[in-house]
Amino acid sequence: MFTWNVERRELAFCLIDKNHRLIDLGGSLGTYGLGDLREGQDVENRFSFLEGNQVGDKDTVILPRVIVTSGVYADVHIISEEAGLWIVLLDATADAEQLQLMQQRGNETNLLRERIVQLNAQLEAAQRNIAQLRDELNTR
């Protein structure tokens, strides 16, 4: 079960040292626009999601649905060990697109509800005007 899930999600990984140098890498790096990475390379500018994320010793941080390249989202797992930081990427594009679609539908539903409220208010105002005109005609 776990193997199938990882394979389906395009696993990629990198191990970087404290100086942001790449120690080890593998998996489907090309999926995330990282196919050109090489061992020994400084990757501080390649992983923008590391900025502001303080990972302590032996900590794990999970960042869901991070945009890693145009149109590609990943669940990013940052795992701190003595050797450095493991950065594990699992494709989350389908989940992110589904979430966006659900949010869009929710927004559209809210807009439709607001429009219905406005139309009901206009209808009630028109009914009051008609009732008032009818009363005026009946009193003449």
Q: What is the 3-state secondary structure (H, E, C) of the chain?
A: CHHHHHHHCCCEEEEECCCCEEEEEEECHHHHCCCCCCCCCECCCCCHHHCCCCCCCCCEEEEEEEEEECCEEEEEEEEEECCEEEEEEEECHHHHHHHHHHHHHHHHHHHHHHHHHHHHHHHHHHHHHHHHHHHHHHCC
Question: What pLDDT does residue 60 have?
Answer: 85
User: Are the C-beta atoms of residues 60 and 48 closer than 8 Å to each other?
Assistant: no
Structural domain spans, the chain: 2-91, 94-140
Residue ranges of the chain with pLDDT lower than 50?
1-2, 4
Question: What pLDDT does residue 6 have?
Answer: 53
CATH of span 2-91 = 3.30.450
Question: What pLDDT does residue 58 have?
Answer: 66
